[in-house]
Amino acid sequence: MAPDRLQKPLAPPGAAGAEPYLPFARPSLDEDTIAAVADVLRSGWITTGPLTRQFEAALSDYFGGRTAMTFTSATAALEAALLVAGVGPGDEVITPAMSFAATANVILRVGAKPVFVDVELASRNIDLDRVEAAITSRTRAILPVHFAGRAVDMDRLYEIAGRRGLRVIEDAAQAMGTTWRGRRIGACGDLVVFSFHPNKNMTTIEGGALVLDSPAEAKLAELHRFHGIQRTASGDIDVELAGGKSNLTDVAAAVGLGQLRRLEAFNARRRDLAALYFARLGADAALALPDRNDAGHNWHMFNPLLPLDRMTIDRNEFIRRMHERGIGVGIHYPALHQLALYRRLGHAQHSHPDAERIGRETVTLPLFAGMADSDVERVCSAVRDVLCGAMSGGAG
């Protein structure tokens, strides 16, 4: 197989002669995948077609034979999953207070109310101890997030949901290849949604998937995916509901097929890189490192917390100084209830302390399959350098 063709952004302005800029995420696209995309473009069939069906079949095999439906984004798949589960106006959906905005936005988009629950500081996942207390007579579903690829406690999650008669829509956008007690996320459960955005463990450029069991619900998801259209036995078109349009293209599917074949290798490399981060940063008591006690973690992201209460600079300045050293740093994520939309909806601003702390202090360090060990060394050296000059009593 030909070597990867990796995007290599230029060094930041003013950094002439510096090492190449290292982003916090970058997809790995090999020459075979690029050639497959060219074949699709030459074929004349570039929208949903045979390669999309092939990709969905490969995903179904990966998830142990469950139905896998592709979408243009995980956001579209999450919204379809909520609709398939019958969530709508007047319903409540319990979800973590710390995630990407789409997790809560889709609940609003179907007319329901997101009920935020705090997360665990160590795992960054929804605190299941608090979930039960948040259930009311209007609760229709739980929408947990497998944050950064670490699995939620699936046994306890589904025990709570089953006992209370609730649907579960898993936001597994970051959990492609994650396992829980040896079983792949998506190979079991209720409605499970994955993302194939370019910063994820595998990509289709843009895209996502919904994994489910029920043939009737798969048919309903298809109606929501493509205009509500259903073909009659005579071949005529009828419209069952006001569906949207979020069907994946064969161009995207060609990328997905190449990525899926390499997913296990990608994730193995991410685990090695995460282990190296722990080895290099573990002795630095200044940073609060993510919990590493999960063998099934796919290490989608590496998100330590900054010791802002002991720093003479804020997070934005930390990120700027890392950028000066040619290293990209992200923020994943602000607390949802503190975003403008949810403030306007009346969500209390100081009600979920762990989510709020993570939202204030989190930074996302580079982690992607194409990184070399030396890249981790470079990041850790830069982190130590910036922190050394930014701690109270330091050189400044």
Buried b (16+ CB within 10 A) or exposed e, 31-67: eebbebbeebeeeeebebbebbeebbebbbebbeebb
Which of 8, 113, 200, 219 does the annotation list as catalytic?
A: 200
At 293 the pLDDT is 79
At 14 the pLDDT is 43
Among 127, 167, 168, residue whose Cα is nearest residue 147: 127
Using only C-alpha atoms, the chain has a radius of gyration, in whole angstroms, of: 22
Could you tell me which residues are beta bridge partners of residue 17?
A: none
Query: Is-catalytic flag, 8?
Result: no
Rounded to whole angstroms, the Cα distance separating 395 from 344 reads: 42
At 263 the pLDDT is 98
Using alpha carbons only, what angle is made at residue 348 by residues 342 and 354, rounded to the nearest 5 degrees? 95
Q: Which amino acid is at 257?
A: L
The alpha carbon of 251 is separated from its chain's Cα centroid by a whole number of angstroms, namely 22
Q: Which domains does the chain have, with CATH numbers?
A: 4-11+263-388 (3.90.1150.10), 29-256 (3.40.640.10)
pTM of the model: 0.94
Q: One digit per residue, pLDDT tens: the chain, 396 residues?
A: 333 333 344 445 444 456 899 999 999 999 999 999 999 999 999 999 999 999 999 999 999 999 999 999 999 999 999 999 999 999 999 999 999 999 999 999 999 999 999 999 999 999 999 999 999 999 999 999 999 999 999 999 999 999 999 999 999 999 999 999 999 999 999 999 999 999 999 999 999 999 999 999 999 999 999 999 998 888 899 999 999 999 999 999 999 999 999 999 999 999 999 999 999 998 766 899 999 877 899 999 999 999 999 999 999 999 999 999 999 999 999 999 999 999 999 999 899 999 999 999 999 999 999 999 999 999 999 999 999 999 976 544
Rounded to whole angstroms, the Cα distance separating 237 from 258 reads: 34
Rounded to whole angstroms, the Cα distance separating 361 from 114 reads: 24
